[in-house]
Amino acid sequence: MVALLSIYRKLIEYRFYIAIAMVVITIALTFTNYNGWWWFALIMAIFMAGSHIFFGPIRLIQEAVQAGDEETAKKHIKTVIFPRLLFKPVRQSFYMLQSNMAMTNKNFKEAEVLMNKSIKSKSKILGDTGEGASYLQLGLIALQNGNRNEGKKNLRLALSKGLPDKESEAAAYVQLSAIELQSRKLSQARNLLNKAKKLNPKSPEIVPQIKQIEKHLNGIR
């Protein structure tokens, strides 16, 4: 099974080059006694090239990003010559993965541009939860850029569109609570924080934020 997965990954990585090889074989077959087989090589070339152009190495990029291997992810991203030709759900994921990498490197401006491209490539296949996750990240990016109003707007959009899990939903409520706390809107901050707590998040990033906001709210008279 492991060997088959390895072969499959190699096929995804080198299929465009395989397509070129098939074109060469097609041309060669036209000058041989086996030229009746040229159509098979041509079909294989079209299939390989088409799968690379319209689907890209998205699986390989995802695996590299999840493994924290940025160099490998960048190598695969560079093989996508025409991102606009990717099918919409693939293109949406492609830009989102790039945005995630930019955020990891604290390049928030680039992350924002890429996330907007992801949202513009919205696909019905991913549904509103996919769009909600995009707006959540866009909201977090806006807050990192110091744009509180934009962040608040996008976080509320994320909640209205729907998020894929309770951890993401809690993260949105926590960030909104922090915004209201900074604006000294204590009642709204407490209400939003309670909504986050009811979701019972376990994330090591979210739990300390809840405790910190709660501490601030309890310290305000």
Per-residue pLDDT of the chain (221 residues; tens, 9 = 90+): 656 667 777 878 888 888 888 888 888 777 776 656 677 778 888 888 888 889 999 999 999 988 889 999 999 999 998 899 998 889 988 998 999 899 888 898 899 899 989 888 876 665 555 788 889 999 999 998 888 999 999 999 999 988 888 999 999 999 999 999 988 888 999 999 899 999 998 888 889 999 998 888 887 65
Short-list 152, 144, 135, 48, CA closest to 96: 135
Q: Is residue 169 part of a domain?
A: no
How many domains are there within the chain? 1
Residue where the block lists tokens 């305000």: 220
Q: Is residue 60 part of a domain?
A: no
Range of the domain at 28: 1-55
Q: Is residue 148 part of a domain?
A: no
Decide if 64 contacts 76 (C-beta within 8 A).
yes
Q: Is residue 102 part of a domain?
A: no
Per-residue DSSP letters for 109-170? Answer: HHHHHHHHHHHHT--TTTHHHHHHHHHHHHHHHHHHTT-HHHHHHHHHHHHHH--SSHHHHH
pLDDT score recorded for residue 136: 92
pTM: 0.75
Q: Is residue 157 part of a domain?
A: no
Q: Is residue 16 part of a domain?
A: yes
Q: Is residue 10 part of a domain?
A: yes
Q: Is residue 25 part of a domain?
A: yes
pLDDT score recorded for residue 127: 55
